[in-house]
Amino acid sequence: MRTLVTGGSGFIGSNIVDGLLARGDEVTVIDDLSTGRRENLDGALAAGAELVEGDIRDQAALVALAERVRPEAIFHLAAQIDVRRSAADPALDAQINVVGTINVLEAARQVGARVVNSSTGGAIYGEGRTIPAPEDHPVAPEAPYGQSKFAAEGYCELFARLHGVSAVSLRYGNVYGPRQDPLGEAGVIAIFCGKLLEGEQPTVFGDGLQTRDYVYVGDVVAANLAAAGATVTGPVNVGTGVQSTVIDLIEALAPQADGPFEAQFAPERPGEVRHIALDATRAGAELGWRAQTGLAEGLATTLDSLR
Which positions are annotated as active-site residues? 145
Q: Is 8 in contact with 77 (CB distance < 8 Å)?
A: yes
Q: How far apart are CA 241 and CA 134, in angstroms?
A: 10
CA torsion, points 18, 221, 142, 203, in degrees to nearest 10?
-70
Closest CA to 307 of 256, 238, 244, 236: 256
b/e map 195-233, b = 16+ CB within 10 Å: bbeeeebbebeeebebbbbbbbbbbbbbbbbbbbebeeb
